[in-house]
Amino acid sequence: MIWSNIQLIDYAVIIGYLTLTFYIAFRSGKMSGHSLDSKNATANEMYLANKSLTFTESFCSIIATETSALTFLGIPAFAFTTDFSFLQIYIGAIFGRLLIASYFIPKFYGHDLTIYGTLSESHSTQGGQRSISLFYMGNKILSVGVRLFTGSILISEFFQINIYLAIFIITFLTFFYTLIGGLKAVVRTDILQMGIFLGGGIIAHFMIPYVSEHSWSDLISTAYNANKMTIFNLDSPMSFVTGILGGFLFDMATHGVDQDYMQRLIANKSMRGAQLSIFASSAMSITVGTLFLSVGALLWSHYQTIPVPDGVKPDHLFAYFISNYFPAGIKGLMVAGVMAATMSTLDSTINALCSCVYNDLFPNRNKSKINFYYVTDTIIITVLLLVVAFVSVNASGLLILGLKIASWTGGPLLALVVGKIFMRNYFTFSLNAISAPVCYALGIAGVAINTYVYEFAWQWNVYFGFAFTITGMFVLAKTLPKYFSAR
């Protein structure tokens, strides 16, 4: 049984979600004192919400930001084609976030508008701060551009429109409500969006068995008996080590030195609230991952009795199933769920990158023109994200692609932070326009060696990048102190 693709109730649900999102953004902007016509707006209002975030706001925003359309569509595809081993990354992340809460947040909280500004507080130059911020921004635009394309898949399927138009629509909507209220609007709308995409995942657990005409327990049992729900392969202990250790350092790189996530933490009312938010989010991440991996297991069991439609890739399968089999109203809610997952990642990225442009790249701007700069920076960053999303249209294996992009530069960035802040007793490093790019390039070289020479799993990219960068920092500071050592 297949319902018609689009009905009025679906439109009503989607329009209701978008209306509520813009209303929350508008109200949040007014409450925080930020609006585009305000002549008294400050950087702290736009980028740190005047340090007013509660535990709930920081916690929900972290989950909403990391739970992109790659989660909604990519994780079910991963389980459909493989198993539940992706959970190893989440398990390793628990230990990574414990270190972030214990050591990283105390170093960043209350210091500067961005975490990269904190790195340049001593024995560093503006060129070094600018270099690190540029490296981060380039990597972020690439990885989030892939997520933007992924989130547009269901929009394209649902409305039967060109994928490029779908990408443009969701970006256009996110662009405008991000402008309305700064970080406060981003965080408040993230709470709504988290609830919607989680609700969509839960509903899928009811709808797939209904469409399949098999009970939920029968479908799950079929997947379990076929080892589709395996988390640890005891026959391959190395894969377990790779998953856990990869998740540990990878998460430290993506959450501990990423302005996108740290912005939600250093904007918290208290350092204690920030620490609790990041650590508690690790447990919620496992819950969300399990929810959507189980969706993939249900789909796999369903398609054991009927063939997978011709031309439908695993990355598109859940979107196809929603568009063709979910009933009116529920279908609209699922589309809203994907939009929520995509927009919550996109709005966070735009705001975080704007803070880097303002604070790190052009710190000497006229403070009275901050609204103008906020608009122009947002436009430029949005266009760059659009370009990457358009280029990603022909890619496959989107979940792993997005993670691989982050793994290439995460290790070098993490090493620069660790070496600069936590290893001062062993060597002092001058962060400047020469030292930062050189050491970053060494880290990228290490990742290239892992990828093309040793050909280890992508999870080891962060370790190679980290090791090559931190070693280069130590050696160069000792052998060429004129350029690399802080004296």
What is the crossing angle of helices 87-99 and 271-302, to 10°? 180
- Other Cβ atoms closer than 10 A to 138: 12
Quick: pLDDT tens for 248-280: 998 999 899 999 999 999 999 999 999 999 999
Render 63-131 in DSSP notation, one character per residue: HHHH--HIIIIIHHHHHHHS-STTHHHHHHHHHHHHHIIIIIHHHHTTT-SSHHHHHTTSSB-HHHHHH
Q: Which of 431, 437, 432 is nearest to 417 (CA)?
A: 431
- For 91-110, how does the pLDDT look when each residue is reduced to its tens digit (9 = 90+)? 999 999 999 999 999 999 98
pLDDT, mean of residues 122-135: 82
Rounded to an integer, what distance in angstroms lies between the CA atom of residue 207 and that of residue 80?
Answer: 17
Q: How far is it, in rounded angstroms, from Cα 486 to Cα 202? A: 54
Q: What is the pLDDT of residue 399?
A: 58
Those residues with Cβ within 8 angstroms of residue 5's Cβ, 6 or more apart along the chain or in another chain: 158, 160, 323, 324
Q: Are 73 and 340 in contact (CB under 8 A)?
A: no
Which residue, 115, 90, 106, 147, is CA-closest to 281? Answer: 90
Query: Pick from 349, 407, 396: which is nearest to 148 by CA?
Result: 349
| 267, 51 contact by CB (below 8 A) | yes
SS3 call for 431:
strand
pLDDT score for 67: 80
* Model pLDDT for residues 434-482, shown as the tens digit of each residue: 888 999 999 999 999 999 999 988 889 999 999 999 999 999 988 888 7
Residue 415 near residue 443, CB atoms below 8 Å: yes
CB 146 within 8 A of CB 398: yes
User: If you average pLDDT over residues 24-44, what whole number do you get?
Assistant: 65
Asked which of 76-85, 168-177, 181-190, 328-337 is least confident by mean pLDDT, the reply is 181-190
DSSP state of 54: -
Give the model confidence (pLDDT) of 327-386 as tens digits: 888 888 888 888 888 888 888 899 999 999 999 999 888 888 888 898 999 999 999 999
- Residue 430 clears pLDDT 90, i.e. is over it: no
Q: Per-residue pLDDT for 37 more than 80?
A: no
Nearest to 93 by CA among 348, 288, 273: 288
Categorize the per-residue pLDDT at 1 as very low, low, confident or very high, splitting at 50, 70 and 90: very low
Q: Could you give the angle at which helices 126-159 and 398-417 cross, rounded to 10 degrees?
A: 170
Sign (positive/negative) of CA torsion 362, 364, 370, 376? negative
The token duo for 451 is 């990828």
Q: Mean pLDDT across the chain, nearest whole number?
A: 87
DSSP assigned state of 449: H
Domains and CATH numbers, the chain: 8-397 (1.20.1730.10)
Question: Is the predicted pLDDT of residue 181 greater than 70, yes or no?
Answer: no
Write down the pTM of the prediction.
Answer: 0.88
Higher pLDDT among residues 462 and 425, named by residue? 462
Confidence class of residue 3 from pLDDT cuts 50, 70 and 90?
A: very low
Residue pointed to by tokens 């790249």: 361
* Percent of residues, the chain, with pLDDT higher than 70: 92
Model confidence over 284-334: pLDDT tens digits?
999 999 999 999 999 999 999 898 988 888 888 998 899 889 888 888 888
487 pLDDT band, cuts 50/70/90, is low
Listing DSSP states for 341-408 in one string gives: HHHHHHHHHHHHHHHHIIIII-TTS-GGGHHHHHHHHHHHHHHHHHHHHHHGGG---HHHHHHHHHHH
Q: Is the pLDDT of residue 387 over 80?
A: yes
